[in-house]
Amino acid sequence: MKSVNGSFDFSIVRSIRKSKGFKFDILAEKSGISRPTLYLIETGKNVPTLPTLNAIAQALDFSVMDLLQMAMVPEVEVRDLEKKVFSAGKTSNAVLACNEGVHCLCVKLSPDEKIPGDKVNDALKYLSYRVTCTVVEGKVLITISGKEYTLKKGQYICFNSCFRHTFEAIGGIARLVVVQSYCCQNSQEAIPAISEAEMADEAE
């Protein structure tokens, strides 16, 4: 008999069974699976054959594909952060985390320091991508194609990287998180998305 290959954790069957309100013996009876075999599957100690998995899926009113997706163990990779320094003699710095198609930077800016976007975004400067910038400390003046936006802690802004932009700390140290995600198409205009918190401030 064929068994399921790959990284799966079928202890999810126990959680699904309980969410359906089934007792252990009821699922064993409905699926026609022996109690010892079902116990090993529910405790993650046994990988079921495809016929066994199909029987369990039918008893739980699930498709086999849905059950496989829920049981799939995601691949996880741990990496070291990469440190970046923007200006010599300044305390500004950032740590960079990279994944396929997405870069995330935690940036610290010195008081009144101004840095161009291509310094922050040099890893992706030849690509068009979406920038989401969230301020987590202090105030930051972000200039996009000559238009200025002042963000404080708890606010964010989104824009396309193809527009010239700068980041500047206002009145003290500022920290921001910059997420860069690859875009398939270029935006035709810069329309930054301001957070609900900022819109509420504007309405006051």
pLDDT category at 70 given cuts 50, 70, 90 is confident
Whether residue 85 has pLDDT greater than 90: no
What is the CATH classification number for the domain harbouring 144?
A: 2.60.120.10
Q: What's residue 197's pLDDT? A: 44
Q: What's residue 188's pLDDT? A: 40
pTM over 0.75? The answer is: no
% of the chain exceeding 90 in pLDDT: 33
pLDDT category at 77 given cuts 50, 70, 90 is low
Whether residue 118 is found in the same domain as residue 176: yes
Residue with tokens 């405790």: 43
CB 113 within 8 A of CB 90: yes
63 versus 200: the higher-pLDDT residue is 63
Longest dimension (CA), the chain: 72
144 versus 194: the higher-pLDDT residue is 144
Instruction: Report the alpha-carbon distance of residue 50 to residue 3 in Å, rounded.
Output: 6
How many structural domains is the chain composed of? 2
Q: What's residue 90's pLDDT? A: 56
Question: 39 is in which domain, residue-wise?
Answer: 12-71
Sheet strands side by side (includes 93-99): 82-84, 93-99, 102-109, 174-182, 129-137, 156-160
Whether residue 107 is found in the same domain as residue 36: no
Whether residue 65 is found in the same domain as residue 139: no
Look at residue 2 and tell me if it is in a domain: no
Look at residue 109 and tell me if it is in a domain: yes
Whether residue 138 is found in the same domain as residue 173: yes
Average pLDDT over residues 96-125: 73
Look at residue 3 and tell me if it is in a domain: no
